[in-house]
């Protein structure tokens, strides 16, 4: 019996509570797959993948191919929409699980794995349903880069190959990757007293190749342009968000930041402490500029991962010296588990939205399969955004009603008989509705859009 217990401990002892938490996080992709794939950008992505039967890449972010692979396999096999949605939702979480597994179990960087998990779970009620944002991919690439630098057992040749691979993926993930690159190198220099100048050269060459051969997307141009508009800092939307939420959803980050700071102070590492605090202030300053106007909390969460990472990453250099086992093995897991409760509550508005939209599409279907609605007929409080209505309606009607119905929003100011240019996000690009993938969308050949009753309110 003792031999059996010993064998079990040797075989499974390397797994801990954080692995279990990440498996629960991965399982949420199955539980809330519909809410994660039929809302705004997520629905836009799913629709275009179904229609083209291929990967969907925006703004030259080719790293997005990786999490889309399971869904593309399902599409090639001709699976139903609901199964494709499951694979898409799961694929985006599987990417993070693979990064976590590599960092924690293959590279042996346990603390870095915990930091990565904390970045993904804290405030997840505002980010979990924004599935397709490439800022999460940039976070994963930044964590992989940090893991490679921290792993002394890797030979220099392996480090070089893996670093170039991560750089190539990071450059083609999201512009915010450059901030992760800077934060990782800065703290490595701060604690290890070593600078990899060749990495600056490599990342510079990759960005030069990208801009030379692919150009810069309009999004990237706006991203970099906004960094120069320092005058908006004082009135940034980010300040308002932090005032109302920093003590509610970021308690763990505040506690860990305090513990790291006090440890550095007590160890007489004053220069390191100053750089640490200045880096947090600097990243917050940049994010304040990027989120000057602020569309929603969900949109802002796309960039706040870098702030969480900046606060937590130095913990990997010092946690062996000061991290209490009770705090590490009990309190932190409890906080992360508590994040799951917020998901269940946040999902209600997305579930309700889908159910009501399906019900209303069923009621409207007698008008035709291509309909348009005026802005004044949409209740913004319950719809939570409406620019992606054509994609959401096409997916949900086929999924739940076995019909193909698309509902487009009419641009404001139109008073005459509208045509397709008067609608927001219609299907004439890249192809008209009568040329869509018949496996998933079966619209009539007519391209005429019909109005719905003016008394109808979409809510």
Mean pLDDT per block of 10 residues along the chain (459 residues) reads 40 79 92 92 92 90 94 95 96 96 94 92 81 90 96 90 94 91 94 89 89 70 62 74 76 85 89 93 85 64 84 86 66 81 83 92 88 85 82 93 88 60 59 77 82 85
The phi, psi pair for 72, rounded to 5°, reads -65, -40
pLDDT of residue 98: 96
Please say whether the beta carbons of 194 and 188 come within 8 A: yes
pLDDT of residue 8: 38
432, two tokens: 């008209």
Show the 3-state SS of the chain: CHHHHHHHHHHHCCCCHHHHHHHHHHHHHHHCHHHHHCCCHHHHHHHHHHHHCCCCCCCCCHHHHHHHHHHHHHHHCCCCHHHHHHHHHHHHHHHHHHHHHHHHHHCCCHHHHHHHHHHHHCCHHHHCCCCCCCHHHHHHHHHHHHHHHHCCCCCHHHHHHHHHHHHHHHHCCCCCHHHHHHHHHHHHHHHHCCCCHHHHHHHHHHHHHHHHHCCCCHHHHHHHHHHCCHHHHHHCHHHHHHHHHHHHHCHHHHHHHHHHHHHHHHCCCHHHHHHHHHHHHHHHHHHHHHCCCCCCHHHHHHHHHHHHHHHHCCHHHHHHHHCCHHHHHHHHHHHHHHHHHHHHHHHHHHHHHHHHHHHHHHHHHHHCCEEEECHHHECHHHHCCCCCHHHHHHHHHHHHHCCCCEEEEECCCCCCCCCHHHEECCCCCCCCHHHCCCCCCCCCCCCCCEECCCCCCEC
How far is the C-alpha of 344 from the C-alpha of 338, rounded, in Å? Answer: 11
DSSP character at residue 436: S
301, two tokens: 């969460």
pLDDT of residue 7: 47
Q: Which of 308, 329, 321, 343 is nearest to 18 (CA)?
A: 329
pLDDT of residue 415: 55
Domain boundaries, given as residue ranges, for the chain: 2-323, 350-451
pLDDT of residue 75: 95
Please say whether the beta carbons of 368 and 23 come within 8 A: no
pLDDT of residue 38: 92
pLDDT of residue 71: 96
Q: Which of 280, 314, 272, 277 is nearest to 115 (CA)?
A: 314
How far is the C-alpha of 276 from the C-alpha of 114, rounded, in Å? Answer: 19
Give CA 372 to chain center in angstroms: 31
């Amino acid at each position: 019996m003792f031999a059996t217990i010993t064998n079990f401990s040797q075989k499974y002892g390397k797994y801990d509570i954080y692995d279990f938490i990440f498996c629960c996080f991965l399982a949420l992709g199955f539980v809330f797959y519909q809410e994660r794939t039929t809302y705004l950008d997520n629905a836009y992505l799913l629709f275009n993948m179904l229609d083209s039967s291929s990967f969907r890449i925006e703004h030259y972010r080719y790293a997005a191919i990786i999490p889309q692979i399971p869904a593309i396999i399902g599409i090639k096999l001709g699976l139903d929409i609901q199964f494709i949605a499951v694979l898409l939702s799961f694929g985006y979480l599987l990417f993070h699980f693979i990064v976590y597994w590599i960092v924690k179990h293959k590279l042996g960087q346990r603390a870095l794995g915990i930091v990565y998990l904390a970045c993904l779970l804290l405030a997840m009620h505002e980010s979990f349903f924004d599935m397709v944002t490439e800022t999460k991919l940039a976070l994963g690439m930044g964590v992989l880069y940090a893991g490679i630098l921290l792993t002394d057992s890797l030979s220099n040749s392996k480090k070089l190959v893996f670093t170039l691979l991560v750089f190539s993926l990071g450059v083609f993930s999201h512009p915010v990757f450059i901030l992760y690159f800077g934060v990782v190198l800065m703290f490595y220099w701060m604690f290890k007293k070593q600078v990899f100048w060749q990495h600056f050269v490599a990342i510079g060459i990759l960005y030069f190749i990208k801009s030379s051969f692919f150009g810069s997307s309009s999004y990237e141009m706006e991203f970099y342009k906004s960094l120069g508009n320092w005058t908006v800092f004082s009135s940034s939307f980010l300040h308002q968000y932090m005032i109302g939420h920093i003590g509610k959803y970021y308690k763990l980050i505040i506690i860990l930041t305090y513990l790291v700071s006090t440890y550095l102070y007590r160890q007489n590492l004053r220069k390191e402490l100053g750089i640490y605090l200045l880096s947090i202030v600097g990243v917050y300053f940049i994010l304040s500029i990027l989120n000057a106007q602020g569309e929603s909390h969900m949109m802002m969460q796309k960039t706040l991962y870098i702030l969480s990472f900046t606060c937590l990453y130095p913990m990997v250099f010092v946690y062996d010296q000061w991290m209490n086992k009770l705090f590490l093995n009990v309190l932190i897991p409890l906080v992360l588990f508590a994040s799951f409760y917020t998901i269940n509550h946040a999902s209600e508005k997305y579930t309700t939205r889908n159910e009501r939209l399906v019900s209303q599409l069923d009621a409207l279907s007698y008008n035709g399969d291509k309909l348009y609605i005026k802005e004044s007929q949409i209740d913004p409080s319950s719809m939570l955004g409406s620019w992606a209505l054509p994609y959401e309606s096409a997916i949900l009607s086929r999924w739940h009603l076995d019909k193909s119905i698309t509902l487009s929003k009419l641009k404001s100011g139109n008073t005459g008989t509208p045509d397709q240019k008067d609608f927001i996000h219609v299907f004439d690009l890249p192809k008209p509705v009568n040329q869509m993938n018949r496996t998933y969308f079966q619209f009539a050949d007519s391209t005429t859009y019909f109005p719905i009753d003016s008394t109808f309110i979409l809510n």
